[in-house]
């Protein structure tokens, strides 16, 4: 199926990106399209009203969020069948990116209507390009699973991947997630992008080992970025000196050996042999 987006007037669902904090981050085209469509589908009508008023957009809003999207799907398809033009927005950024949209997009395509993106802000790219970490390849993981074991299991699959990891996280879970990232991935460069585009935007460039010292503000929105699997750092310390240093920092012997193995990208038994023989 080939969609010629602008060569006929087929009913269309526009996927319109809106700001991730700064109301001015709307493209001219986004404003134009939102003024033209018959209905705007949004997550929270009150949140969207603020943006729409700011840009003097006055089109009818339909609430479309995670809790009603299934029952609304058929209504939306019927609107398209009746030749109405629709725009989907979310509370912030690009709809579908950890926001409602995917099922609707799939269904609209299945029914033979157009889906056209009006690109704009998304926290992924703003965070990535300001991080200073390798930009491509990168992998966007969205929100990690909430359960610690599921989180660990997922991260295990990324241990040897070279690409930068981009993760969304709730401010209340950032601290714990950083601990798990360190535990599973070892020491790597870490960037925390907080409150992007807003007055209190903060980009913290550090590493996972140091992250326990960070004072995480539990207000605001965070993107966590971690560098991919890198060449192991060359340590001046011998293996046993390294283990002893980590024990001095407060870890027990067994954990310290594990940590050294992870940091150096070698097996636990290599560390164990060197430490036990020389210690």
Kindly state the number of chain residues that form the binding site for ligand SAM, as judged by CB under 6 A: 24
Closest separation between CB of residue 224 and ligand SAM, Å?
A: 8
Structure letter (DSSP) for residue 211: G
If one asks whether residue 216 binds ligand SAM (CB under 6 A), the answer comes out as no
If one asks whether residue 222 binds ligand SAM (CB under 6 A), the answer comes out as yes
If one asks whether residue 107 binds ligand SAM (CB under 6 A), the answer comes out as no
- Residues ≥6 apart with Cβ < 8 Å to 165: 138, 139, 141, 158, 224, 225, 226, 228
Structure letter (DSSP) for residue 145: P
DSSP secondary structure, 228-260, as one string: -S-PPPPPSS-HHHHHHHHHHTT--HHHHHHHH
Report which residue's Cβ sits closest to ligand SAM. Answer: 93
Strands 114-118 and 164-169: unpaired
How far apart CA 165 and CA 158 sit, in angstroms, is 9
Closest separation between CB of residue 139 and ligand SAM, Å?
A: 15
Nearer to ligand SAM, 115 or 263 (CB): 115
If one asks whether residue 97 binds ligand SAM (CB under 6 A), the answer comes out as yes
If one asks whether residue 86 binds ligand SAM (CB under 6 A), the answer comes out as no
Closest separation between CB of residue 193 and ligand SAM, Å?
A: 5
Piece in contact with ligand SAM (CB under 6 A), picked from 154-162, 193-201, 237-245, 265-273: 193-201
Contact 65, 47 (CB under 8 A): no
DSSP H helices, 117-238, are 123-131, 148-156, 174-185
Binding mask 45-84 for ligand SAM (x = CB under 6 A): ----------------------------------------
- Give the residues lining the site for ligand SAM (CB under 6 A): 20-21, 90, 92-94, 97-99, 122-124, 168-170, 193-198, 221-223
């Amino acid at each position: 199926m080939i969609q010629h987006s602008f060569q006929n007037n087929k009913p269309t669902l526009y996927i319109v990106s809106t700001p991730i904090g700064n109301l001015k981050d709307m493209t001219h085209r986004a404003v134009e399209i939102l003024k033209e469509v018959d209905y705007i589908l949004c997550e929270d009508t009150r949140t969207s009203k603020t943006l729409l008023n700011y840009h003097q957009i006055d089109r009818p809003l339909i609430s479309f969020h995670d809790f009603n999207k299934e029952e609304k799907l058929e209504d939306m398809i019927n609107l398209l069948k009746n030749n109405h033009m629709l725009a989907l927005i979310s509370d912030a950024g690009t709809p579908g990116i950890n926001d409602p949209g995917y099922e609707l997009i799939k269904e609209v395509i299945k029914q033979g209507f157009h889906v056209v993106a009006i690109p704009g802000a998304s926290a992924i790219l703003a965070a990535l390009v300001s991080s200073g970490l390798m930009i491509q390849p990168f992998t966007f993981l969205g929100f990690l699973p909430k359960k610690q074991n599921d989180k660990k299991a997922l991260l295990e699959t990324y241990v040897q991947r070279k690409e930068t990891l981009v993760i969304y996280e709730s401010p209340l879970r950032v601290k714990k997630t950083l601990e798990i990232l360190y535990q599973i991935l070892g020491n790597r460069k870490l960037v925390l992008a907080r409150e992007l585009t807003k007055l209190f935007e903060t980009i913290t460039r550090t590493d996972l080992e140091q992250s326990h010292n960070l004072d995480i503000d539990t207000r605001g929105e965070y993107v966590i970025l971690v560098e991919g699997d890198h060449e192991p750092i060359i340590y001046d310390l011998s293996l046993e000196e390294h283990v002893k240093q980590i024990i001095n920092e407060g870890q027990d012997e067994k954990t310290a050996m594990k940590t050294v193995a992870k940091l150096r990208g070698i097996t636990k038994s290599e560390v164990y042999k060197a430490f036990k023989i020389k210690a």
